[in-house]
Structure formats: C-alpha cells, structure tokens
C-alpha cells in the first residue's frame, strides 16, 4: 500500500498540487506551505496559490544566508 502511494505521487507530480508536493521535496515546513498557499490565494486567486510555493522557496533561499551567517568575532578591549 505504501508503494502504491509513492507511485501515485510520481504520476501526479506535474498536476495542480505539484506546489504542495514541491514543498515536501524542498524540505519546507508543511504549515509554511499551507500558509503561503492560503495567503497567495487570498492575494492573487488561483495564480497566487500556484505561485506561493516557488515564492516561498525563493524568499527562504534569499534569507537563509542572512539568518545563518556567522557573527563577527568579539572585539578585544583596547
């Protein structure tokens, strides 16, 4: 039964739910994907819902280096 589910996902990957499955493969938190799709649908309708996951991924990719950058070393007293 589990193998059948994986086959179904592979066959339907290019369908209208590909954004949600794409979020799973990009290791986005499911709640973040649901919120992004909901906000996208409210702001821009079906187009916003379809573009929500790619936009979320782009924002995450752009902000990740800023959030994980090493802090500068502490200054020594003079």
Of the pLDDT bands very low, low, confident and very high (cuts 50, 70, 90), residue 72 is low
Q: What is the DSSP string of 17-57?
A: THHHHHHHHTT--HHHHHHHHHHHHHHHHHHHHHHHHHHHH
| pLDDT of 27 higher than 60 | yes
Return the higher-pLDDT residue of 76 and 1: 76
CA dist., res. 43 & res. 25, Å (int): 25
- Residue 55 CB partners (closer than 8 Å, separation 6+): 36, 40
List, for residues 37-65, the tens digit of each pLDDT value.
999 999 999 999 999 999 999 998 888 87
């Amino acid at each position: 039964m589990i193998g059948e589910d994986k086959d179904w996902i592979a066959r339907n990957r290019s369908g209208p739910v590909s954004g949600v499955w794409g979020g799973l493969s990009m290791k986005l938190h499911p709640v973040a994907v649901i919120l992004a799709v909901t906000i996208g649908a409210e702001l821009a309708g079906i187009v916003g819902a379809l573009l929500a996951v790619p936009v979320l991924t782009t924002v995450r990719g752009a902000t990740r280096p800023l959030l994980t950058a090493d802090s500068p070393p502490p200054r020594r007293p003079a």
